[in-house]
Amino acid sequence: MFKSKLIITASTIVLLTSLFISVGFPSNNRSYDIELIPIYGGAVGPESFDFNPVDGDGPFTGVSDGRIVKLIQSEQRWIDFAVTSPHRKSCGKPAMEHKCGRPLGLKFDKNSGILYIADAYFGLLEVGPNGGLATSLVSKAQGLPLRFTNSLDIDYTNGFIYFTDSSQRFTRRDHTLIVLSGEKTGSLLKYNIESKEVTVVLHNLTFPNGVALSKDGSFLLVAETTTCRILRLWLKTPKAGKLEVFADLPGYPDNIKINEKGEFWVGMYSRKREVLEWIHSYPWIVKILSKLPLVIVKVSSYIITKLECEGLAAKLGVDGDILRILEDVNGKTWKYASEVMERDGYLWIGSVKTPFAVKMKVQE
């Protein structure tokens, strides 16, 4: 009887969460010159982008079946570049992610041409300039396995790779549970390329996601998806070691990418919902949600997906000011933004759900 009441209560909370209207800042939506570039082979979810720093080829992106693909822009077609797992049977099905891999964050080392990869299931990996099967660099830290490796950036001056592990409890497939429960077991880590040592820089983060180093290397930004905010960790200046809130956002942030001016683009999955803040303020509700059957979470996630279908991104200044909100209000062209990368007068917009990448002409 108690279990039935628990399920009914939890189900009611989740459905209410799904049905509350989203809130946020007004947008400056307008018409844009947009091109959609389909992913081939039945895969979806071009999460993150980078270009080869040697010859400018790309973009490169990771997709849902564990491949990293490269766009031949002159021919508007993708070709295979690398994989994060040798297991290729039935790849592309969600149930096979843990075997096939799910490459999320990508970053080329401009000095060596090596592509570093944050794979949700296999940790921090690397692959050489010719591609192929990626090699594992970090799969555990302080004796604990990485459960949800997410994003990365490179500090070229010191030879460090900063990357995030979003949760010690849930994997990428169960990311909805991280948000609903408000759990705080995520970490920011640092990998020394020369010594191969890995250090945990920050503990107890709430769904740490995107990371980006400032242009002068004085600070590092970390996105907390659940709290809809960007944190700043000072690396230099008298503030070194200090952690502070850099920006509060109107939606749930994913990756952060710096542009040539030193500004930061943040992709957001959707606008935030006040009811989640209300739920997280009551520990007893969070406790109930932690006992929630996964099937109910999946139903709730499906409902939320149908209701929240806008495209949303923000450009932040070096002091955290929101300089611009980019939005496709009804998600007619792009939605569920995971990353926005600015390069050569275009924005490249990724998404963990859509079967295409978006190329958009920059308009100021």
Kindly state whether residue 129 falls inside one of the protein's structural domains: yes
Cis peptide before 283 (omega within 30 of 0): no
What percentage of the chain reaches a pLDDT higher than 70?
Answer: 81
Task: Identify whether 18 is part of a domain.
Answer: no
Neighbours of 126 (CB within 10 A): 17
- Which of residues 284 and 73 earns the better pLDDT score? 73
* Strand, coil or helix: 205: strand
273 falls within a domain: no
Query: Span 92-101, mean pLDDT?
Result: 93
One-letter amino acid at 328 equals D
Mean pLDDT, to the nearest integer, of 143-171? 96
| Closest of 48, 26, 114 to residue 256, by C-alpha | 48
In the prediction, which pLDDT does 286 show? 61
- What's the confidence (pLDDT) of residue 308? 57
pLDDT digits (tens, 9 = 90+) for 23-36: 444 444 455 689 99
What's the CA gap between 63 and 48, in Å, rounded?
A: 9
Tens-digit pLDDT profile for residues 280-289: 655 666 666 6
CA–CA gap between residue 279 and residue 287 (Å, rounded): 10
Phi, psi of 172 (to 5 degrees): -60, -40
For residue 52, tell me if it sits in a domain. Answer: yes
Q: Does residue 296 fall inside a structural domain?
A: no
Number of domains comprising the chain? 1
Torsion of CA 319, 217, 207, 46, to 10 degrees: 100
- Per the domain annotation, does 19 fall within a domain? no
2-19 and 283-290 helices cross at what angle (nearest 10)?
A: 110
Q: How far apart are CA 262 and CA 303, in angstroms?
A: 38
CATH number for the domain that contains residue 242: 2.120.10.30
- Contact yes or no for 240/14 (Cβ under 8 A): no
Answer yes or no: is 305 within a domain: no
Q: Which domain holds residue 322?
A: 35-268+312-361
* Dist. CA 231–CA 238, nearest whole Å: 18
**Widest distance between CA atoms in the chain:** 65
